[in-house]
Structure 1
Amino acid sequence: MSDDLTRPDDTGEGRAEPTRNSRSKEEDRWTQGPEVPSGKRASQMPGAPDDDAETLRERQRLAQLEMMDHWIGGVLTEQRRSRRWKLFFRLTVLAIVLVMLFATLYSLFWDSPSVTPPAQRHLGIVEVNGVIASDSPANAERIIKGLNRAWEAESAAAVVLHINSPGGSPVQSQRIYAEIMRLREQGDKPIIAVIEDIGASGAYYIAAAADEIVASPVSLVGSIGVIYAGFGFEEAIERIGVERRVLTAGENKAFLDPFQPLDEEAEQFWQSVLSQTHRQFIEDVRAGRGERLSDSSDIFSGLVWNGEQSIELGLVDQLGSLEQVSRNQVGNTDWQDYTPSLDPFDRLTRRFSQVVAEVLGVSTPNTPLRY
Structure 2
Amino acid sequence: MSDDWKAPDSEEREERNSWKLLEKTVLAGVQEQRRARRWGIFFKSLTFVYLFGALLMFSPLLRMGDGKATGDSHAAVINVRGMIADEESASADNIVGALRNAFEDSGTKGVVLRINSPGGSPVQSGYIYDEIRRLRGEHPDIKLYAVITDLGASGAYYIASAADEIYADKSSLVGSIGVTAATFGFVDTMEKLGVERRVYTSGDHKAFLDPFQPEKPEESEFWRSVLATTHRQFIDSVKQGRGERLQIAEHPELFSGLVWSGEQALELGLVDGLGSTSYVAREVIGEDNLVDFTVKDSALDRFTKRLGASVGSQLALWMGLQGPQLR
Alignment of 1:15-34 (within 5 A): none
Q: Distance in 2 between matches of 1:147 and 1:222?
A: 23
Give the secondary structure class of the aligned counterpart of 1:159.
strand
Query: Where do 5+ consecutive residues of structure 1 fail to align?
Result: 1-64
Match of 1:100 in 2: 52
User: In 2, are the aligned partners of 1:157 and 1:329 still within 8 Å (CA)?
Assistant: no
Task: Name the amino acid aligned to 1:212.
Answer: E
Q: Distance in 2 between matches of 1:315 and 1:125?
A: 21
- Compare CA radii of gyration and give the structure with the larger one: 1
The counterpart of 2:220, out of the listed 267, 270, 274, is 267
Contact 2:84-2:120 within 8 A present in 1 as well:
yes
Summarize the Cα distance change of 1:96–1:302 in structure 2 as closer, same or farther, 3 Å threshold: farther
Query: In the alignment, is residue 163 of structure 1 matched against residue 118 of structure 2?
Result: no
- 2:12 paired residue number: none
Could you state the TM-score of these two structures normalised by the residue count of structure 1? Answer: 0.73
Q: Secondary structure at the match of 1:127?
A: strand
Q: Any idea what the Cα deviations from partners look like across 1:98-132, whole Å, max 9, x if unmatched? A: 33222222123465237963222111111111100
CA shift, 1:340, in A, is 2.5
**Which residue pairs with 1:215 in the alignment?**
168
Q: Is the 8 A contact 1:205 1:281 kept in 2?
A: yes
Match of 1:232 in 2: 185
Choose the corresponding residue for 1:333, options 272, 288, 294. Answer: 288
Cα contact 1:166–1:198 (8 A) shared by 2: yes
Cα distance in 2 between the residues matched to 1:277 and 1:183: 24
In the alignment, the residues of structure 2 paired with residue 225 and residue 346 of structure 1 have an alpha-carbon distance, to the nearest angstrom, of 31
Asked if 2 retains the 8 angstrom alpha-carbon contact of 1:354 and 1:363, the reply is no
2:323 counterpart residue number: 368
Q: Which has the higher contact order (CA 8 A, sep 6+)?
A: 2
Q: Please report how far the alpha carbon of residue 331 of structure 1 lies from its aligned counterpart in structure 2 after TM superposition.
A: 4.0
1:173, 1:202 within 8 Å by CA — same for their partners in 2? yes
Over 3 Å counting, the alpha-carbon distance change for 1:123 and 1:355 in structure 2 is same
Give the SS at the match of 2:147: strand
Residue aligning to 2:254: 299
CA distance in 1, matches of 2:223, 2:234: 17
Normalising by structure 2, report the TM-score. 0.82
Give the alignment's Cα RMSD to 1 decimal: 3.1
Whether the aligned pair in 2 keeps the contact of 1:104 and 1:344 (CA below 8 Å) is no
* Correspondence for 2:307: 352
> Identity over the aligned pairs, expressed in percent?
45
Deviation, structure 1 residue 348: 2.5
Distance in 2 between the 1:91 and 1:185 partners?
A: 57
Please list, as runs of the form range in 1=range in 2, the aligned pairs for 1:117-128 lying within 5 A after superposition: 117-128=69-80
Q: Does 1:194 align with 2:144?
A: no
1:40-62: CA deviation from partner (whole Å, max 9, x where unpaired) = xxxxxxxxxxxxxxxxxxxxxxx
CA contact (8 A) 2:209 2:321 kept: no
Shift of 1:345: 2.6
Q: Find out whether 1:322 has 2:274 as its counterpart.
A: no
CA shift, 1:232, in A, is: 0.2
Q: Is the 8 A contact 2:116 2:151 kept in 1?
A: yes
